[in-house]
Amino acid sequence: MLQLLDQIGEILTVGQKVWVDMPHMASWFPGAVMWAEVIEGHREPQPGMVWVRQLPTAAVPNPGEEGGWVSEQPANRCLGR
């Protein structure tokens, strides 16, 4: 994985937990975030993007049958922890 930086300029690494700012998605609203883990995808991510798997939260205790929604998200929309 290329070295990608989060919103505050820290390096994102596989296995890291991040908040993903979701308003860039058409049906999401300002302030919507997703708790996720950075993963290796089935292919290299597009430039400036990172693969993540949604993790459970109190608001979404069961994020999916196969362990959570996997998506490619802009690295600069992630905030590492």
CATH ID of 4-80, from 2.30.30, 1.10.150, 1.10.3470, 2.60.40: 2.30.30
- For 28, the token pair is 């999401």
Pairing relationship of beta strands 70-74 and 11-12 according to DSSP bridges: unpaired
Question: Cα(53)–Cα(28) distance, rounded to whole angstroms?
Answer: 17
pLDDT in tens, 3-38: 787 778 888 999 999 999 887 666 766 668 889 999
pLDDT in tens, 33-73: 889 999 998 899 999 999 999 999 888 888 877 778 899 99
CA 53 vs. chain centroid, Å, equals 7
